[in-house]
Amino acid sequence: MELSWVTVRTPLPSGPMRFGVTADGVAAVTYAGEVFAGRPVGVPECRDERKRALVEARVGEYFAGRRRELELPIDWRFASGPQLTVLRCLWAEVGYGRTVTYGELAARSGVFEGVNEPGVPARTVGQMMGANPLPLLVPCHRVVAADGLGGFGGSWHGVEVKRWLLTLEGVLPPTLDWSGPAD
């Protein structure tokens, strides 16, 4: 597997993000992860200047509020089966500044047809979002609980990152201490 990494500074509470790129596109993204698929994140660094510049520019424009969609090529290799179906549905149907609940995404994806246990599809989608190999590109931050934000990544900064991204996209109003882009 030829996966190399581009590190991009961000204003997020989690710090820089890392984008794992292949010949086919971005295959992995981590907010502050040290390991992805059992391998160290950030090693090896991407030496392809064209790929590096594209990722840095698009991500920088998004965080500066000048880009609504990253429009980076995606390599889906780390998702498969029902998770891939749900992630592709999210990517295609839930655009910038919009949200969907875990249950709504489960229904839209069609993956859970015939599942009659209340709450199971929504919880399963939550688990799928937690295992999303392409956060930000496949915007799992736009998937919320029916009664609030829901979780995000399980780390100390997870919900704050989700809140920050939803504020950037205009879903949530900024707080006095929000460090978003200055226009």
Supply the residues annotated as catalytic: 140
The sign of the torsion formed by the CA atoms of 50, 91, 96, 37 equals: negative
Quote the distance between the C-alpha of residue 106 and its chain's center: 17
| Residue pair 8/25 in contact by the 8 Å Cβ criterion | no
Residues in the chain: 183
Count other C-beta atoms under 10 Å from residue 130's C-beta. Answer: 14
Rounded to the nearest 10 degrees, the angle between the axes of helix 81-93 and helix 102-109 is 110
The answer for residues whose C-beta is within 8 angstroms of residue 45's C-beta and 6 or more apart is 4, 5, 6, 7
